[in-house]
Structure 1
Amino acid sequence: METQREKWQNLKGNVFSKPIVELVEDTIICEKENGNEIRVCIGSDSHVYGDFISYATAIVFVRKRKGAFAFVRKDKVLQNISIKERMLNEVNRSVEIAYLISPVLEKYGIEMEVHADINTDSEFKSNTALKDAMGYILGMGYTFKAKPFAFASTNCADLMV
């Protein structure tokens, strides 16, 4: 069930009124009709602004040898939480969307990855959430990617936060 915060837009800022499952299916159909082979990558990012945390979740459609485009959802939450909890909130937002659109992706045989904006280098604070995030994503049956391979979160979602 989609909520009020389910306003999806592209990177240009165009807002879509369709539910995300419908938007994803329409996109897949269009891309297949155009002869494009695609895969989907989902990632979230967040930034802290005073007492607020701004989140963005991106669904990136990667065309084989033909570029990519994305749909993004943004929202703001009044929270004061640890870096680990914030990283896990990002992962949860990505998994929530992956779970929602999985049936459509399976129907059309589309490969999916879930990207986590978590550094694999233990020198970085976000690394405290790496094992939990990886376990959650892999436990849900999804392909896991972390930095530096997590472009859906570190680039696309980051652009919109």
Structure 2
Amino acid sequence: MEQQWRKLNGKPIGQPIEDEIRERIVQEKAAGHELKVCIGTDSQVKGNTTEFATVIVFIRKGKGGFMYIRSETSRRKMSVKERMLVEVSKSIDAAFHLCRIFTLYNIDLEVHADINTNPAFKSNEALKEGMGYIMGMGFAFQAKPFAFASSSCANKVVQ
């Protein structure tokens, strides 16, 4: 069962995300906006559960942006490395399902990983695998400090 996507204001999307995205791109292009898309996931461990938030962030070059959010919860205990790779997997899943639409409308797509490039941080253990997974799927990759979709946008949802 596909998890429910919603807008930033919390309003659920009443149709498949692919249809919503396609319609919104047509509207944005008609308004003359140049778009870029960044997809990322962040997670927060809260007691026995881990909350994940995946975001699809649209940047209107020079004119703000908007995003869609999907939240999920897991009761499985995970190491930091495994949790980082699950985040990457959730982002790739969203990117894979939508990449045809972005290609059709000539929109640049980046997948952002909430993985630190500094070896002093535990998340760094997943950097090589996460980067390889994203790039191996053919997507542009960003990690901290440039991965704002996961580090800032998705982070705000799971706090």
TM-score, normalised relative to structure 1 = 0.96
Q: 2:20 aligns with which of 23, 38, 44?
A: 23
* 1:75 maps onto 2:72 in alignment: yes
Residue 92 (structure 2) pairs with residue 95 (structure 1): yes
How do residues 59-138 of structure 1 correspond to structure 2 at under 5 angstroms? 59-138=56-135
Provide the rounded CA distance (Å) in 2 between the counterparts of 1:129 and 1:46: 14
Note if 1:142 corresponds to 2:139.
Answer: yes
Aligned partner of 1:152 in structure 2 is 149
Quote how far apart the aligned CAs of 1:65 are. Answer: 0.3
**CA–CA distance in 1 between the matches of 2:135 and 2:2?**
29
Q: Which amino acid aligns with 1:66?
A: K
The DSSP-based 3-state class of the residue aligned with 1:54 is strand
- How far apart in 1 are the matches of 2:144 and 2:75? 27
3-state SS, counterpart of residue 146 of structure 1: strand
Partner in structure 2 of residue 58 of structure 1 = 55
1:28-54: per-residue Cα shift (whole Å, max 9, x none)?
101001100001000000000111110
* Alpha-carbon distance, 1:4 to partner: 4.2
TM-score by length of 2: 0.97
Q: Of the candidates 41, 46, 52, which is equivalent to residue 43 of structure 2?
A: 46
CA RMSD of superposed structures (Å): 0.7
Helix, strand or coil: the match of 2:144?
coil
Cα 1:4–1:142 shift into 2, 3 Å: closer
Q: Is there any run of 5+ residues in structure 1 with no aligned partner, and where?
A: none
C-alpha offsets along residues 65-120 of structure 1, whole Å, 9 cap, x if unaligned? 00111000001111111000000000000000000001111111111000000000
Deviation above 2 Å: which 4+ runs of structure 1?
none
Mean Cα deviation higher: 88-97 or 13-22: 13-22
